[in-house]
Amino acid sequence: MQVEEFLITMPDGIRLAADLFVPDDLHGQGPLPAVLEYLPYRKDDGRERTWDLFSYVVERGYVGARVDIRGTGRSEGVLPDREYSDQEQADGEVVIDWLSRQAWSNGNVGMWGISWGGVDSIQMAMREPAPP
């Protein structure tokens, strides 16, 4: 497994920091679904936990994505004034769309998480982001 770092540009120009956990032979495999963890807990903290979690999904044929929400970790911008803000959710939809449109992607993006990331997952599902 490899970790690739990306900056995902939001419509207002703010860039969110993302780590993608991909199989070593990503381009030798067919299109893959993604599992997104979208949270404010600084993607670069707790690397051992993150590595263990995402190795599990990568070994099962997924690409893992861990993204710092706006204003946290290595993402640009200012943290919205409350948890689960409209801005946070709108940014999340852009992230999901970005993941679904990558060359390696089969268009399917799921989310997971605990605490803030878990609630974000539920709220994003309720928004029913449109498929590409």
Q: How far apart are alpha carbons 76 and 68 in whole angstroms?
A: 9
**What does pTM read for this prediction?**
0.91
The secondary structure of residue 109, as a DSSP letter, is E
Position 25 scores a pLDDT of: 81
Residue percentage of the chain with pLDDT more than 90: 63
pLDDT tens readout for residues 25-77: 877 777 999 999 998 887 777 677 788 889 999 999 999 999 999 999 999 99
**Contact indicator for 67, 16 with CB cutoff of 8 Å:** yes
Helix (H, G, I), strand (E, B) or coil at 95: helix
Sequence-separated (6 or more) residues with CB below 8 Å from residue 76: 14, 15, 16, 70
